[in-house]
Amino acid sequence: MRQHHRTPRLLGTLLLVAAAGLSVVGAAPAAAARSATPLGQVVPAPASVDAGGSAYRITGGTSIRVDDTREARRVGEYLADILRPSTGYRLPVTSKGGGGIQLRLADSKLGAEGYRLVSGRSGVTITARETAGLFHGVQTLRQLLPAAVEKRSVQPGPWLVAGGTIKDTPRYGYRGAMLDVSRHFFTVGQVKRYIDELALYKVNTLHLHLSDDQGWRIAIDSWPRLATYGGSTQVGGGQGGSYTKAQYKEIVRYASSRYLEVVPEIDMPGHTNAALASYAQLNCDGVAPPLYTGTDVGFSSLCVNKTVTYDFVDDVIRELAALTPGRYLHIGGDEAHSTSHADYVKFMDRVQPIVAKYGKKVIGWHQLTGATPAKGAIAQYWGLDDTSAEEKAQVAKAAQNGTGLVLSPADRLYLDMKYTADTPLGQDWAGLVEVKRSYDWNPGNYLPGAPSSAIRGVEAPLWTETIVTSADIDYMAFPRLPGAAELGWSPASTHDWDTYKVRLAAQGPRWDALGIGYYRSPQVPWPAS
C-alpha cells in the first residue's frame, strides 16, 4: 500500500473521504459517513496514513484473535475490557480462527514500539514486533471508534473503524510525564488512574517525584523515619502519606501493564527538608529542622562533607533500585541554592557512581551539567525560552559531550502553569501557558547548540503545590498532555497547530465519556456539548 506522511493537506483529504461516505458491512454508506472517525484524526498523529476502502464494523460476532503468547493475550484482554461494557458484545479473546480484530506479533521493521493497523471489510489487524507496539496500536484503535466506546454501560453504536492503513513509529524513545507526589500525596489508585490517561496517548515513562521538602513518600527499611515521620505531612499541613514497598511495586507493575517505565526520583542535595527533619545526623549541625508545609524552595541541603550522608544515599538508592526494574534513577539536583558550587560538584561526583553500582543510569535536572554528568546520564532541561544564554550553553556543551537530554521547558510543558491569569489552580512563575504555546515548538531544534541526536525525548511535569485531587490533575493535564505526547511521538513533518487543534477538539467527547474534566481552551474548536 502507498504510505504518505501526514500533512495538513492530507488531513483535509481524510475529512473529504469521510464526508464522501464509506461502504460498510451491515451499514449504509451514509451511516458510515456519520460514524467512522477519519483514519488520521488521532492523537498523537500517526507517522503515515493511507485512507480508503471499506470500513469494518464490530458486531456481536466479532472476536479478538491474538498470538498464542501470554503478552499478546494480555493486550487482547485489555482491549476486550475496554470494548465489552459499551458494545455489550462478548468479544472472546482467542488464538484460533481469523477475521474480526487481530493482534499479531511479527518480525518487522517497526521497532520496539511501532505498529501497523490495517482496516477493511473483513476486520482490523494490528501488527507489531513487540507487545508494546500492539498496545500502542490498540490506543489508536480506541480513538478510531466513537467516543462512547469509553463508557462503562451499553451504548447504541454502530462501532465502525474507517478503512485503510496506518504505519506508525515514535519519533523519540522517551515520552514522559512526571507526577509530584511529594507536595501533595496521591494514593496508588490515583496514580493508576493517571497511568491509564497517559497510556491513551502512548506516553511510555512515568517519573515519580518521591521526595521533597514537604514529604518523603517511599518506605526505606534502613531509614524508617523517612516515611513514617518525613511522609506525615504535605503542603498546607495535611496528613501526607507514603507508599509501602508493596504499594510502590504495585504502581510499577501496573505501569508496566500499560507499557510505561517508572523513573523514581529522590531529589538531592537540595529539596531534602523531609529527610533532614527525620534524621538529625543528616544535618551539618546535627539539629533536625521542623517539618515543612510551605512552598518556598532552595533552603535545604544534605551535609556534603559528612560520611553519613553517603551511607544514607547508598541505602536509599540500593533499596529503591531493587524495587525498580526500569533503567533509570532520578537524583534531582535542581535548586540546590544552599549548597556551594564546589560542594555540589563534590556531591554529584560521589552520588552518580552509587547509582551505577546498583545497575541504574542517572537522570538529573539540567543543573547536573554544572558538575560532570556520568557516562550515559540524561539531563532534564526545565529552563525557559528566556533562560540565560550561558545556562543554555552549559547544557548544550554537555549534550555535545554525550549527555542525553529530555526536554521539559517550564514555559511550555509544565502542566502546573496556569492557562490564563484566571485559572483557579496552578502557578505562573514561568508564565501563562495556553494550549497552543504548550504544543507549538520543536524539541529537535529547541536548545541552541544541542545536537538533535542528543534529544532523547520530552516530559510533561505536573508539580502539585496547588494540586490536591484527581480532578485537579485532569484539569491541568488536559488538554495540554496530549500535545506533549504528540511532540514525543509524531514526526516533525506532521507538526501543525491548525490541524492539531481540530484533532485535539475531537478528543473532548472521549474525555467526557472517561470522566476526565478538562479546560475548554478558547483556542480549540471543541464540538458543541
**Beta carbons of 521 and 435 less than 8 angstroms apart:** yes
Residue of 464, 409, 468, 462 lying closest to 437 (CA atoms):
409
Please state the φ and ψ torsions of residue 322, each to the nearest 5 degrees: -65, -25
At residue 137, what are phi and psi to the nearest 5 degrees? -65, -35
Structure confidence at residue 23 (pLDDT): 34
pLDDT at residue number 172: 98
Calpha distance 109→104 (Å, rounded): 14
Look at residue 12 in the predicted model and tell me its pLDDT.
38
Evaluate the omega torsion of the peptide bond into residue 479 and state whether it is cis, within 30 degrees of 0.
yes
Q: What is the pLDDT of residue 175?
A: 99
Q: Report the C-alpha gap between 134 and 254 in whole angstroms.
A: 17
Alpha-carbon gap, residue 477 to 516, rounded angstroms:
10
Neighbouring-strand partners of residue 459:
176
Q: 346: buried, middle or exposed (CB in 10 Å: 19+, 13-18, 0-12)?
A: middle
Cell numbers for 439: 504544543
SS3 state of residue 258: coil
**521 alpha carbon, distance to own chain's centre:** 21
Catalytic residue chosen out of the listed positions 130, 335, 434, 486: 335
Interior/surface letters 48-61, b for 16+ CB within 10 angstroms, e for the rest: bbbbbbbbbbbeee
Phi, psi (degrees; rounded to nearest 5) at 258: -105, 15
Mind listing the pLDDT tens digit of every residue in the chain (529 residues)? 333 333 333 333 333 333 333 333 333 333 444 579 999 999 999 999 999 999 999 999 999 999 999 999 999 999 999 999 999 999 999 999 877 999 999 987 999 999 999 999 999 999 999 999 999 999 999 999 999 999 999 999 999 999 999 999 999 999 999 999 999 999 999 999 999 999 999 999 999 999 999 999 999 999 999 999 999 999 999 999 999 999 999 999 999 999 999 999 999 999 999 999 999 999 999 999 999 999 999 999 999 999 999 999 999 999 999 999 999 999 999 999 999 999 999 999 999 999 999 999 999 999 999 999 999 999 999 999 999 999 999 999 999 999 999 999 999 999 999 999 999 999 999 999 999 999 999 999 999 999 999 999 999 999 999 999 999 999 999 999 999 999 999 999 999 999 999 999 999 999 999 999 999 999 999 999 7
What pLDDT is stored for residue 97 in this prediction?
83
User: Active-site residue 335, yes or no?
Assistant: yes
The predicted structure's pLDDT at residue 34: 53
Nearest-angstrom CA–CA distance, 188 and 110: 33
